[in-house]
Amino acid sequence: MKKAIYYHAGCPVCVAAEQQLLDTLDTQRVALQKIDLGQSPEARVQARQAGVESVPALCIDGAVFHINFGASLADLMGEGA
Amino acid sequence: MKKAIYYHAGCPVCVAAEQQLLDTLDTQRVALQKIDLGQSPEARVQARQAGVESVPALCIDGAVFHINFGASLADLMGEGA
């Protein structure tokens, strides 16, 4: 199984990507986990360490793919633009 | 079947996304077409009309998801930055 983590923050861009893009994934081969970065500071630190710079982002086996642009992680972490 | 079109230009960002992201799609439910925008001006015009602003981009049933950032369509069309 491939391991995929979808990082989001509940914003409209994130929701659109979640509904349409994630629905195309092959759930027989991909184990998908969803992490809301708005919910915990620990998750934001973990996301940054994984290379996530903005949400929504889909991390597949360690490779980060940033999708469109919803919010920067710096903004979510309260570090300003 | 959902219809997905992957717009790319052969750049390293595009190739990485193609190899890892597209490999997670459910080919039983998603009909995937790949279009190399480096190959034809007509394809670039079509991509722009579809809402593509940069490559790589994955268009799913009309909704465009730009992935990371490889090249702007304006650059590919010779319009400068």
pLDDT tens sequence for chain A (81 residues): 999 999 999 888 898 899 999 999 999 999 999 999 988 899 999 999 999 999 999 999 999 999 998 889 988 888 764
Distances (CA, A) of A38 to A9, A48, A51, A57, B17: 5, 13, 17, 14, 26
Q: Show the beta-strand stretches assigned E in chain A.
A: 2-8, 30-36, 54-60, 63-72
Residue B65: partners with Cβ closer than 8 Å, 6 or more residues away: A17, A20, A21, A67, A68, B57, B58, B59
**pLDDT higher at B75 or A59:** A59
Contact assignment for B61 to A20 by CB distance below 8 Å: yes
User: Band of the pLDDT at B10, cuts 50, 70, 90?
Assistant: confident
Please, are residues A64 and B17 in contact by the beta-carbon 8 Å criterion?
Answer: no
| Mean pLDDT across B49-75 | 93
**Cβ neighbours of A25 in B, within 8 Å:** 24-26
Q: Which amino acid is at B50?
A: A
Q: What is the ipTM of this complex?
A: 0.87
Look over chain B and give the mean of its residue pLDDT values, rounded to a whole number: 92
pLDDT score for B77: 86
Contact assignment for B2 to A23 by CB distance below 8 Å: yes
CA distance B8 to chain A (A): 15
A65: nearest CB among B26, B27, B68: B68
Check pLDDT > 80 for residue B79. Answer: no
